[in-house]
Amino acid sequence: MKTKILAICMLFAAFLLSANAPSTGKITVFTIGDSTMANKDTTIGDPERGWAMMFQQFFNDNVVVENHARNGRSTKSFFDEGLWKTVLDQLTPGDYVFIQFGHNDQKNEDPRRYTDPDGSFRDFLTMYVNETRAKGAHPVLLTQVARRKFEGETPVNTLGDYVQAVRELARQLGVPLIDVEQQTRALLQRSGPEDSKEFYMWLNPGDSPKHPQGLQDDTHLNGLGATRVAEMVVNSMRRARLPLAEHVKPRIQDLNWASVAMRQPEAWYGSQEAKNIAENVLLYQRNIGGWPKNTPMHNTLSENEKKRVLADKTNINDVTIDNDALFLEMNFLARMYHQTRDETYKNAFLNGLNYLLEAQYPNGGWPQYYPLQPGYGGYFTRITFNDEAMINMMNILKKISERDELFTLVDDPALIQKCAEALQRGIDVTLQMQYRQNGTLTTWCAQHDEHTLLPTSARTYELPSLSGAEGAEVVMFLMEFDNPTPEMKQAINAAAAWYERVKVFGIRVESFVDENGSNDRRVVQDPSAPPIWGRFHDLETNQPFFTGRDGIKKNSLAEIERERRSGYNYYATTPRRMLELYAEWSEKHNR
């Protein structure tokens, strides 16, 4: 009898221990929706895929995706068939529910599925949201995948009021919104009527055993389309700063192009992943040697996208040194060659170098765009320090001239000498452009006239001025030379003194969200704040000024329209770092 009681007690204790065992710590993401999201049978030669099938691969081991989406379901039929109850019964605090319906809610000929976008559609979505929250889980609303329908060259909304209903409901309920419809319609716009077929179930006869006669389906996605939509969802999670995004696996595509081009471990540039990206860099390089700007070279290209890029090889109108173009690509190719010794990368680098040398003005400066086209004007032709354009060009030439290990792929003595001479011309014109205020050297403007070398304007809100940011970059570049000339020393010392004189104390700039939910910036008083500088300082008074799209000088950031105030940096902190480096430089060179 005692043995029996002991056994029962042990079983009961085991039960209590299991009942109170700590959770695994894993987060479950439940996806509910229709066929654009649902799992498909991958064993029958059918290329159709729901985007949630691709979702798991983006997460680390802390997240499990359970795809409960079903073909043909609406908000109503998903509930009526008990599919929602299955999800609800499994929900635990901290889980997520991604909710995406609409395609089948439209079907007013089918009372089992139809919902009114201003009535029952919102009611069912609200119920899913509220019941998710009641379980301590997190709802996320998604608009629908756009259908591939065009009017001329423009994709149109075929989902009517169902799209806006989701957007409005997300705002009303305070639920995170991922606007898949807007993003997929933008993808259609970029791709055009023909090339956009590659994301949908457009099949030629013989392409698929399930569809031997072919298929023309503008609603459902293939593997490429499903992956693109899943990427959109993941990127939207990051932008919305959902805590779930912390569990997304790091991918090279999630970095910015500058990080990929220059900041990866040396050995990575010999990897297959790097070689795949290098194929894109080679593809984007125009025949003239340069590259377009603002192009994330490390993003995966579809076959149609590759065709479009290839067709642009002869384009000379978008080749620029603005926004780090040319500089990043050449640095990337130098690293690729250093690791692989593949002559393809060396030749592409040399093609870029020839472009750099050819684009230089005889006076030593560089235009923002080259070749100069008839009708080019404004800041396209200016010698620009903005975004370090000119400094970037001189940095490449400096590394080649000084035989930096990464840049020894330039091994022709005559070409090395040519680079050294081009660098010297660049330095000479930089020193000439330093602005004299009543006979005293100060700093530089963001851009200078290519003929007079005087400060000049760029866009309407970028007037001639003394630069709080770009000038500091010039000083830091000049301080990199081990044996500066007397002229360089004079320029550095004068600029550093100017930055000391025009420091602004007692304020800082903070970002905030206004009453309309829009991002904004404001200046606040803060006696403990470190010094700051204006982006634009008046050429005569040195006072910071502010200019919006109307091109009129203002005295404060608050007077600038919100769009510019929140989207453009009117204050600079770069001189802080420059002055720290200057203190070390001065101790060495001003004895």
> Cβ-count burial of 339 within 10 angstroms (0-12 exposed, 13-18 middle, 19+ buried)?
middle
The tens digit of pLDDT for each residue in 201-224 reads 999 998 888 899 999 999 999 999
Q: How many CA atoms lie within 13 A of 405 on its CB side?
A: 3
**Residue 17, pLDDT score:** 37
Among 7-16, 276-285, 470-479, 488-497, the range scoring the smallest mean pLDDT is 7-16
The tens digit of pLDDT for each residue in 404-429 reads 999 999 999 999 999 999 999 999 99
**Residue 541, pLDDT score:** 97
Q: Where are the beta strands (DSSP E) in 160-305?
A: 177-178, 200-203, 215-221
Phi, psi of 298 (to 5 degrees): -90, 0
Could you tell me the pLDDT band of residue 21, with boundaries at 50, 70 and 90? very low
Give the 3-state secondary structure of residue 157.
coil
**Residue 514, pLDDT score:** 86
The tens digit of pLDDT for each residue in 486-514 reads 999 999 999 999 999 999 999 999 999 88
SS3 content of the chain, % helix, strand, coil (to 5): 45, 15, 40
> Is residue 7 scored above 50 in pLDDT?
no
The helix (run of H) or strand (run of E) holding residue 140 is: strand 138-142
The helix (run of H) or strand (run of E) holding residue 534 is: strand 533-534
**Residue 24, pLDDT score:** 53
Long-range contacts: 199-205, Cβ < 8 Å, 24+?
Answer: 199/148, 199/224, 199/225, 199/228, 199/302, 200/148, 200/225, 201/47, 201/48, 203/47
DSSP structural state of residue 56: G
Helix boundaries (H) for 452-573 = 470-478, 486-501, 562-567
d(C-alpha 569, C-alpha 468), whole Å: 11
Q: Are the beta carbons of 366 and 383 closer than 8 angstroms? A: yes
Length of the chain: 591
**Residue 374, pLDDT score:** 67
Radius of gyration of the chain (CA): 30
**Residue 2, pLDDT score:** 45
Helix boundaries (H) for 360-504 = 389-401, 413-433, 470-478, 486-501
**Residue 149, pLDDT score:** 96
Q: Are the beta carbons of 75 and 125 closer than 8 angstroms? A: yes
> Is residue 308 scored above 70 in pLDDT?
yes
Mean pLDDT of the chain: 93
- What percentage of the chain exceeds 90 in pLDDT? 88
Report which of 137, 65, 78 is spatially closest to residue 105, judged by C-alpha positions: 78
- What percentage of the chain exceeds 70 in pLDDT? 95
Q: Is the pTM of this model over 0.85?
A: no
**Residue 126, pLDDT score:** 98
> Is residue 78 scored above 70 in pLDDT?
yes
Q: Are the beta carbons of 255 and 139 closer than 8 angstroms? A: no
Between strands 447-448 and 383-384, the pairing is antiparallel
Task: Write out the two tokens for 303.
Answer: 């076959």
The Cβ of residue 132 has, within 10 Å, a number of other Cβ atoms equal to 24
Task: Write out the two tokens for 406.
Answer: 């990464």
Region of 450 please: left (phi>0), alpha (psi -120 to 50) or beta: alpha
The tens digit of pLDDT for each residue in 101-159 reads 999 999 999 999 999 999 999 999 999 999 999 999 999 999 999 999 999 999 999 99
**Residue 515, pLDDT score:** 85
> Cβ-count burial of 273 within 10 angstroms (0-12 exposed, 13-18 middle, 19+ buried)?
middle
